[in-house]
Structure 1
Amino acid sequence: MAVERSESKLEFAVQMSCESCANAIRNALAGIDGIHSVQINLSEEQVLIDTTLTSGEVQALIEGTGRRAVLKGMGTSTLRDLGTAVAMLGPEGPVQGVVRFLQLSEQQCIIEGTIDGLSPGLHGLHVHEFGDLTNSCLSCGGHYNPGKNRHGGPLDAERHVGDLGNIHANELGRATFRIQDDRLKVWDIIGRSVAVDSGEDDLGRGGHPLSDVTGNSGESLVCGIIARSAGLFQNPKKICACDGVTLWEERDRPIAGPDRKKPTEAPAANL
């Protein structure tokens, strides 16, 4: 049975300086299935969107107009802040991406993200017990399983809380996903980790000795620590006071290190 997709509200900062910029964004988002409302504040360079699409899908639509967009916050359409979190996967190595978590209600959590560099096909996605990357993904522990249950699929009555099933990578190696889950709670997973595995999770039905433990989905290819992130209107940042890197430059630079201050060429906005 298909689960009805719940709506979330996304807050983007968008490089725009004129009404024609705002109109281009409105036109790019108009009539798109899954986008239900768009509010643009030109003076604040802010775009608010009610949608059932992933933030990556919406960002791609906005940037298709030639303007840079940065996600600043996620929330519910009722503006109740029940918790948001994010995990950056990588950034070193061929597999990289981001996974975001939004607690819609006491019963529903949205997990959405974009992962690049995967082999085409299905890959297991799991929340792990520890946020410890001292030995890469090997030190993240097992799947988050406070109930001491066997491994299963997202819709199974018995499963690890961290069992999120599979994500699908296309022929280019990109997986874009949006999952709704009624077990995961953002407040329980802050400081833990999320990982993408090399193979398909058999959801505990494969008959392999590891089916009841890991879904026999192979080694973790990439992982990241789950950290608290900004909700709606909670991120006023436009420039990093510590090193002067702007909001627009930051997405193309490492979090730290000598390359952070190197200039980068941003695509010119179409005015």
Structure 2
Amino acid sequence: MTCESCVKHVSTSLYKLDGINKVDANLKEQLVFIEGTAPPSSIVSAIQDTGRDAILRGSGTSNSSAVCILETHSNSVSNKVRGLARMVQVSPNMTLVDLTINGLAPGKYHATIREAGDISQGAASTGGIWDALKTKVLGSDEAQKEPRGVFGSVDVDRKGREGPFKREDENTLVGVIARSAGVWDNDKMVCSCSGKNVWEERQEQVGQGMA
């Protein structure tokens, strides 16, 4: 952003999203603070639609955010990273799951959390669905509840975006959920492990399907 007109352009694009409550931009620091419940990926996309790029520097508060890099264990593909899942607790009773997928064959895919964090054998070693409830006794008035580990399904279009497991299935993605930084909890400018700045890391992540 180079002027107040840029700030207005970015803010207007963001306010078009559902769930955006407040947008504050700092032209000098090149920072945009956004408050609301819009998915992180849609926020970045809205800024990109203005001809600019953006790096998300945190979601939610400390200890309320998590991230999971999704990858295939198939040996038939070179780029194994196919997506990213972000989880943000936006209220005591609501967690937002933002799922980005790239490079999959068209079709319907199911998003679930499994019991184990072991991905050594791909999806085959991750166990059953987390929090699966036992079948209710016949005649019970309480309706059968779906496990909390079931997030729903994702329909992938022909561009590749949005039974027993097979290790070599390039369209089966797995990853380990890890805690991520909350808003402003991670303000690094250079990665000490690679020497790259955050923008160089951003381009690398985009190339790996983690935009």
**Do the structures match in fold with TM over 0.5?**
yes
What one-letter code is carried by the residue in structure 2 that aligns with 1:231? G
**Residue 155 of structure 2 aligns with which residue?**
168
SS of residue matched to 1:97: strand
Match of 1:139 among 100, 125, 129: 125
What is the Cα-based RMSD across aligned positions, in Å?
Answer: 2.6
Q: Which SS does the other structure have where 2:184 is aligned?
A: coil
From 156, 159, 183, the equivalent of 2:146 is 159
Mark the CA change 1:238 to 1:21 in structure 2 (over 3 Å): closer, same or farther: farther
1:42-61 equivalence runs, <5 A = 42-61=27-46
Aligned to 1:266: none
CA deviation string 1:172-199 (max 9, x = no partner): 2222xxxxxxxxxxxxxxxxxxxxxxxx
Equivalents in 2 of 1:121, 1:36: separation in Å?
34
Aligned to 1:83: 64
Partner residue in 2 for 1:200: none
C-alpha spacing 1:240/1:141, structure 2 compared with 1 (3 Å):
same
State how far apart, in whole Å, the 1-side matches of 2:89 and 2:16 are: 27
CA distance in 2, matches of 1:72, 1:89: 20
**Greater share of residues in strand:** 1
| Matched length | 189
- For 2:45, the aligned partner's letter is A
Offset of residue 104 of structure 1:
2.6
- Equivalents in 2 of 1:107, 1:26: separation in Å? 29
Q: Contact 2:83–2:102 (CA<8 Å) still a contact in 1?
A: yes
- Distance in 1 between the 2:182 and 2:164 partners? 33
| Match of residue 53, structure 2, among 57, 60, 68 | 68
For structure 1, list consecutive stretches of 5 or more residues without a partner in the other structure.
1-15, 151-155, 176-215, 255-271
C-alpha separation between the residues in 2 aligned to 1:52 and 1:109? 10
Give structure 2 stretches of 5+ with no counterpart. 73-77, 136-142, 206-211
Cα 1:217–1:106 shift into 2, 3 Å:
farther
Q: How does 1:207-246 map to 2 (within 5 A)?
A: 221-246=172-197
Whole-Å separation in 2 of the counterparts to 1:137 and 1:32: 34
User: Shift of the alpha carbon at 1:36?
Assistant: 2.8
SS at match of 1:128: coil
Contact 1:95–1:117 under 8 Å retained in 2: no
1:241 CA drift (Å) = 2.4
Q: Which residue of 2 aligns with 1:97?
A: 83
